[in-house]
Amino acid sequence: DTVARIGGDEFVVLLSGATHKSEVSEAIDRLVKAVAQPCQIDQIQISLTMSIGVTFFPHDAEMDPDALIRHADHAMYEAKHSGKNCICWFDPEVDRKILERRSHYERLVQAFEYNEFVMHYQPKVELPSGKVVGVEALIRWQHPQEGLLPPSRFLPTIEDTELTLPLGEWIMREALRQTREWQKLGINLPVWVNLFPHHLQQSNFAERLAKILQKFPDVAPENLNFEVLETTLLEDLSEVSKRIKACTDQGVSFALDDFGIGYSSLSYFSRLPVKVVKIDQSFIRGILSSPDDLALVQSTVSMAHSIGRKVVAEGVETLEHALPLIACGCDYAQGFGIARPMPAADMAAWIRGWRKPAGWKPIGWKKRLARR
């Protein structure tokens, strides 16, 4: 058997004489257990995990060592995306999808270099006044052939890649630049930016943020705010909290995005330097017909307020959805029922034309909630 290092943290293990996959699996199990043993370096205890890709000769590549290593590498790439300590066997169909993903990623890198990404903005309004209190910045891909593409067409490919940091920082700069342009028109709106999980994994994120803010001295840091997924916070609550605190000390604010679809609880939320919780749109859409969704929204608003946090309802698809939200005491709302995401150039005209609906008087809903 042979073990060879072929890169910074990549190794090749050649197991000779194995005729069945079960033999290879046993050897892999022994390897994983051995590497997982904690080791002491300079009085620091370190534990390692591995992502393992496996290919089997001659089934996966006849008489071609290069193809064999390439297949193992592709399987390892898939293992990395499956989580820690994962093992993946080479599969031709999976390999085809990996190649497509890599090709798509290379095209996205090119799109970033060619300035094909653009920002749209969706207003957020206060309840029940209807006052416009901010906008959420949402990235789009202005594809030369396919037109304007939503984030679902490209963000899954970008996440957890080297592109997340430069793209995320471009979004921050673009949000600040646009805020400055709106201020020239007399529009002073805080902008909320969706933060890639990779940013909060960087120990120097606060320092990088400070440099970005310094490039826009005429825009108050309070006008830039971040939305983070609860799954990002759960990875290392203590360390992430420190990094968020280092950012909020500079003036920016944070919101917990898509609340309710992960494993979150307000008990840990209360320990975070986060001012706002955004209830996931899947619950908001059902509040007109689902007593369970309405109860969840009502309890979330009540608990968030009890620890001094504000609540935003995402996915308000009709103006009628605002009525139970107002009755629950929800602070803010956004969604297609108020306004779809729009180019920055359209925002001023939309604000001038926006009026709070006359029917936002949830008397019946308040009585219904009081009977629960």
Return all residues near 274 (Cβ < 8 A) that are at least 6 apart: 228, 244, 254, 255, 256, 309
Average pLDDT over residues 352-365: 78
Q: What is the model's pLDDT at position 264? A: 53
Report the mean per-residue pLDDT for the chain. Answer: 89
> How confident is the model at residue 249, as a pLDDT?
97
Is pLDDT larger for residue 259 or for residue 190?
A: 190
Query: What is the rounded distance in angstroms from the CA atom of residue 308 to the CA atom of residue 301?
Result: 11
pLDDT of residue 363: 58
Contacts of 98 (CB under 8 A, 6+ apart): 74, 77, 78
Confidence of residue 122 (pLDDT cuts 50, 70, 90): very high
**HSE-CB for 302 with a 13 A CA cutoff:** 9
Sketch the domain layout of the chain as residue ranges. 2-90, 105-370
Looking at per-residue confidence, does 113 or 14 come out higher? 113
In this predicted structure, the answer to whether residue 246 has a pLDDT above a threshold of 70 is yes
**Contact status, residue 113 vs residue 123, Cβ threshold 8 Å:** no
Q: Give the confidence band of 366 by pLDDT, cuts at 50, 70, 90.
A: low
Under DSSP, is residue 322 helix (H, G, I), strand (E, B) or coil? helix
Reported as a single tens digit per residue, the pLDDT across 42-52 is 778 888 888 99
Cβ 117 vs Cβ 139: under 8 Å? yes
Q: What is the CATH number of domain 2-90?
A: 3.30.70.270
Q: What is the CATH number of domain 105-370?
A: 3.20.20.450
Mean pLDDT of the region 182-191: 96
Q: Which pLDDT belongs to residue 83?
A: 76
Report d(CA 135, CA 119) in Å as an integer: 11
**CA dist list (Å): 157 to 211, 296, 315:** 28, 32, 24
- As a whole number, mean pLDDT of residues 176-193 equals 97
What is the pLDDT averaged over residues 137-147? 98
**Contact indicator for 192, 124 with CB cutoff of 8 Å:** yes
Amino acid found at 150: P
Q: Which residues make Cβ contacts (< 8 Å) with residue 69, sequence separation at least 6?
A: 12
Predicted local distance difference test score (pLDDT) of residue 149: 98
Over residues 54-72, the pLDDT tens digits come to 988 877 656 578 888 888 8
Provide the pLDDT confidence category of residue 199 given band limits of 50, 70 and 90. very high
What whole-number distance in Å separates Cα of residue 316 and Cα of residue 320?
8
pLDDT above 70: residue 235: no
Task: Quick: pLDDT tens for 92-106.
Answer: 887 788 789 889 999
- Which of 79-88, 105-114, 239-248, 276-285 has maximum average pLDDT? 105-114
Dihedrals phi, psi of 135, to nearest 5 degrees: -140, 150
Of 212, 247, 207, 208, give the one whose Cα is nearest residue 227.
247
Question: Is residue 273 very low, low, confident or very high in pLDDT (cuts 50, 70, 90)?
Answer: confident
Rounded average pLDDT over 240-256 = 94
311 burial class (0-12, 13-18, 19+ CB within 10 angstroms)? buried
CA distance 229 to 235: 11
